[in-house]
Structure 1
Amino acid sequence: MKDALERVAIPDADAARERARAVVLAAFAEREPLPRQRRARAIAVAVAVAAVAVALAVASPPGMAVIDRVREAVGIEHSAPALFSLPAPGRLLVASDAGVWVVEADGSKRLLAGYRAASWSPFGRFLVALRRNELAALEPDGDVRWTLARPGISEAAWGGTETDTRIAYVDRTGLRVVAGDGTGDRLLAPSERGPLAWRPGARHELAYDSASEVRVQLADGGRVLWRANRGVKPVRALVWSDDGRRLLVLSSAALQVFDGTGRELLHAEPDGVGRYTDAAFVPGTHRVVLLQDGTDVVIRDTGRTLFRGSGLAGVTPSPGGRWLLVTWPRADQWVFVGPGGRLRAVAGITDQFHSRSGFPRIEGWCCR
């Protein structure tokens, strides 16, 4: 039966092939010559290419393979060659092979060399940065306020109010807490590894991943306030809403949202064999922006797709929530998605942040 079907002539196939050929030639003749890029990571998805793919798909069933290849092609063609400015107020923290970068709203960058990761303090006045065996509190211009030597530091988060803060971090002994001025370092939870997220407010409540559960614990005194089952998959992200009334817990297999007492309000799983890649609350709201399968950025409650591409890695909302920064390693681009579907793409990200072995990682966008 299969052989018989393959011998059946497709009506108007020759004419369809000629139409596809005409589209290809016209697109080629009208193309704008572009200079050769120093690296070939980013492959632009041009309108002409999409038109050719559609024509070929009409011409014959093998044309569907062309559609698949187009879906894998990545990059926004009309992207800026450098990050000239941010589309919204605030500063970015970016980690690369060279260290941690502080990026101002006007596009200027300062390298804090030798650090592997970083996190903003509340309101963005300081940042905590990590070396392998050192925790450091810095000003954004790089001035060091204090350091703490500890073995094998892997993660840190800074929370609290403008005048009373705590830093939670992980070293070889487990989850530890130190005051924002570097005093009172102590072990809070032995052998725990994180991730970590401070609940906004003055009570110093810390959420962290522990075995197959999420815990919320008081940093001062150590009392565990509540626990919640989070399944068997490792947690990718823990995020509190701005008002501290919702906690988002994301793994590749599930999205959960809890209220401030540990009651589960939402449990969602990806369709079929899909997976979740990243998620965040839109600032000032309880709406979740979700990255699925590294391809689709959607608003969870409406299902509206904000951006689509192949090989996306992360989503970071701007402090005011009007813009979204989508990281796109496969295209070596950042894409800023704004009101009304506006797009601002920046190319050559790895070169701009002097990263040789990996794509730069967004550590935070703070503050208005």
Structure 2
Amino acid sequence: MSPRDPLAEALREVPIPEPAGTEERGRRIVEAAFAERTTSAQVGPSELWGARTPKTSERRSRRPLPRLALGLGLATLLAALLLSPAGASVRGWVDDVFTATTPRPEPTLGEIPGGGRLLIQSAAGPWVVQPDGSRRLLGDYEEATWSPRGLYVGVAEGRTLSAVEPGGTPHWSFTAPARVSDQRWAPFGTRIAYRSGQTLRVIAGDGTEDRMVAGSSAQITPAWSPLGDPTLAYVSGAGALRLVNSESLADLAAAPALDDVAEIEWAAGGKSILEASRQALRLREVQPRKLQPHPAIEFTHSLPVPAGATVVDAALAPEQETVAAVLTDWRDHGTRSSVVVYGPGETKPQRLLTVPGSLGEIAWSPDGRKLLVTWPAVDQWLFLPLGRGRESAVANISRAFAPGGRAASFPRVDGWCCQR
């Protein structure tokens, strides 16, 4: 069986344009002209019906179509349809369709483009995907996160936080006061921040010295400073972006967070924090104070998001202040999604891809040269290069992370770890 065409699959999500009947009229015009043309030219082999040679009487009675007149008539009808107010929605729909350019997908997951290892959360639990595409289910855990060099995976199940090896061997476990979620390993591996119920806590990388850092936190994964110090950024229950010293528990800085913020991430170099909501993206500048060894949250730099678009996901590059995002625009004539990249200091993002339908998560490769974009609607992953290289895609993702190959929900990407 040949791989499914992602464009054809995604177009099934696109509703019939409004006003009613406009698309149908255009379709009938094109189909009628196409049918007449193919009927008149059907003298060669056909994949469906086989070869057919018309009888002598048929050849004599059939008159050649006035092709020029037909072409001009068809062009006039299509122009009237698409340029009229009633055809505006069809025109926009056609524009959306032909902005989609996706590679033909591989039927199964093989070598990971860009190298490294993936951490994938499925309904059955987290999986580790090796560079050659082989995968292992770690266990019935609810959430997972990589350690900095991929030596361990921090997993959570109920009130239990554990560190396991990528092969599945448990290293240590700790029982928290309440359900564990949103765990994140510090860049140098010495601490793990996590939420236990509504509180924010930190535990040493060996499973000892657990302590509460904040009594109230929003349901957002905290972000560690990339500079190796114990500074931790989080969003409080009151909606403030706060910086805290996870060792001394001293509050270092605070500022109002982005309205309805859904995620935060600290940029490489430690000079800014990305805040993302469904309507906005912004980089929050973090500057060290000259007279005190405490950082300060200062100016903001908003990244342009088109009016009416929704931010589905966003991520910072591993080594520079570059933001990649998935933006989705729901229109009267259907849904369209784009992958965009905001370079350092740029005022306008670069658009890498636009497809009909809804895209999902986005993740950077460890070397920052590729992006993994999920496409749940067609059960695929897309791998997009930044700069030189070719796009690639993998189909049947849900089945790849379902024990026994049974049908399952689309999995979540929890991390892409470690250079080759």
Shared topology, TM-score over 0.5?
yes
User: Which fold has the larger relative contact order, with Cα–Cα distance below 8 Å and residues 6 or more apart in sequence?
Assistant: 2
Partner of residue 60, structure 1 = 81
Partner of residue 290, structure 1 = 325
CA distance in 2, matches of 1:134, 1:257: 34
Partner of residue 240, structure 1 = 266
Query: Which one-letter code corresponds to 1:352 in the other structure?
Result: A
Query: Which one-letter code corresponds to 1:326 in the other structure?
Result: V
Partner of residue 155, structure 2 = 129
Q: Does structure 1 residue 97 correspond to structure 2 residue 123?
A: yes
Partner of residue 298, structure 2 = 263
Q: CA deviation at 1:140?
A: 1.0
Q: CA deviation at 1:228?
A: 2.3
Partner of residue 212, structure 2 = 187
Q: CA deviation at 1:227?
A: 1.5
Q: Are residues 176 and 347 of structure 1, via their aligned partners in 2, closer, same or farther at CA, if it must alter by over 3 Å?
A: same
Q: Does structure 1 residue 367 correspond to structure 2 residue 418?
A: yes
Q: CA deviation at 1:100?
A: 0.2
8 A Cα contact 2:338 2:353, kept in partner: yes
Cα displacement string for residues 174-202 of structure 1 (whole angstroms, at most 9, x for unaligned residues): 11110000001111111313321111132
CA distance in 2, matches of 1:22, 1:366: 57
Partner of residue 272, structure 1 = 307
Which stretch of the first structure deviates more once superposed, 329-338 or 271-280? 271-280
8 A Cα contact 1:160 1:204, kept in partner: no
Partner of residue 372, structure 2 = 325
Which stretch of the first structure deviates more once superposed, 105-114 or 254-263? 254-263
Query: SS state of the match for residue 105, structure 1?
Result: coil
8 A Cα contact 1:16 1:59, kept in partner: no
Q: 2:246 pairs with 199, 211, 219, which one?
A: 219
> Where in structure 1 are there 5+ consecutive unaligned residues?
1-12, 34-53
8 A Cα contact 1:177 1:186, kept in partner: yes
CA distance in 1, matches of 2:155, 2:45: 51
Partner of residue 182, structure 2 = 155
CA distance in 1, matches of 2:318, 2:45: 44
Q: Are residues 115 and 71 of structure 1, via their aligned partners in 2, closer, same or farther at CA, if it must alter by over 3 Å?
A: farther
Q: CA deviation at 1:67?
A: 6.0
Q: CA deviation at 1:154?
A: 2.0
Q: CA deviation at 1:112?
A: 0.8
Query: Which one-letter code corresponds to 1:359 in the other structure?
Result: F
CA distance in 2, matches of 1:362, 1:31: 45
8 A Cα contact 1:138 1:146, kept in partner: yes
8 A Cα contact 1:57 1:67, kept in partner: no
Partner of residue 51, structure 1 = none
Q: How many residues align?
A: 331
Larger Rg: 2
Partner of residue 350, structure 2 = 304
CA distance in 2, matches of 1:333, 1:90: 19
Q: CA deviation at 1:70?
A: 8.8
8 A Cα contact 1:19 1:55, kept in partner: no
Partner of residue 397, structure 2 = 349
Query: SS state of the match for residue 124, structure 1?
Result: coil
Which residues in structure 2 correspond to 1:68-79 (within 5 Å)? 68=93, 71=96, 76=102, 78-79=104-105
Query: Which one-letter code corresponds to 1:344 in the other structure?
Result: S
8 A Cα contact 2:243 2:252, kept in partner: yes
Q: Give the share of equivalent positions with the same residue, in percent.
A: 33
